[in-house]
Amino acid sequence: MSQSLNYAILNDALNALKEGNLRRCEALGFTFNEIEAIRRLSVDELTVLSDTTTGFVDVSVQHDVLSRVLARAGQKVLEDQRITRAVNLGGSIELLGHFFGLSSGEVSIRRRICGTQIPQGRTRVPDEETDKQIWLEWMSRRPDNLMSVDALDAMMDITETLSAMTRNGALSLTVVWNRIMACEKDISESEQLRQ
């Protein structure tokens, strides 16, 4: 173990030296004098140093950093799952850009990876009954922040629920999002007029 660890750290330090990144060497724990000594070693001396079984490297875990990295990894996985779900439900470039900051190119790549085909042309408007169902479902799930991932999750749930119920098949997330945002805008404008 100590031999492979010595080799890995030494290799990292040598790469940093080659790039002129002395700060990386210092971050690995080497002093300036050690960096200079390593820099002057011949290839044969470097080989002997990296093959030594005597451990000159000590490893420690930075628990607070590890905790943050683990939490971020979990958040990243959840975000990737949300993006995949939104893409599979027919989320538009505008929707995916709004909620996840994805560019049109990134959305296209995600669609290709997921094998999702988006129909060309205008987004279809649902019939009156479906429109009513979208609104009723939304009102039963509506979060306080309409632009949050909680709102997106609710819209995705609505899309899945109503897609299973509609006669003509799948309903896209974009249709649901457009209808909800249009209704919310109408309500907001009506309230402003009343004031």
Tell me if 37 is assigned to some domain.
yes
- In this predicted structure, the answer to whether residue 109 has a pLDDT above a threshold of 60 is yes
Residues 185 and 148 in one domain: yes
Distances from the Cα of 92 to the Cα of 81, 140, 166, angstroms: 16, 24, 21
Tell me if 20 is assigned to some domain.
yes
- pTM recorded for the entire structure: 0.70
The whole-chain average pLDDT of the chain stands at 88
144-194 pLDDT tens trace: 998 899 999 999 999 999 987 766 557 899 999 999 999 999 888 877 777
Residue 95 is predicted with a pLDDT of 95
Residues 42 and 83 in one domain: no
Residue 104 is predicted with a pLDDT of 94
Tell me if 58 is assigned to some domain.
no
Tell me if 56 is assigned to some domain.
no
Query: What is the percent of the chain with per-residue pLDDT over 70, rounded to a whole number?
Result: 94
Q: Domain residues for 8? A: 2-51
Residues 179 and 140 in one domain: yes
**Residues with Cβ < 8 Å from 96, sequence gap 6 or more?**
83, 86, 87, 102, 106, 107, 110
- How many structural domains is the chain composed of? 3
Tell me if 121 is assigned to some domain.
no
The amino acid that residue 53 corresponds to is: T
Residue 166 is predicted with a pLDDT of 67
Residue 168 is predicted with a pLDDT of 59
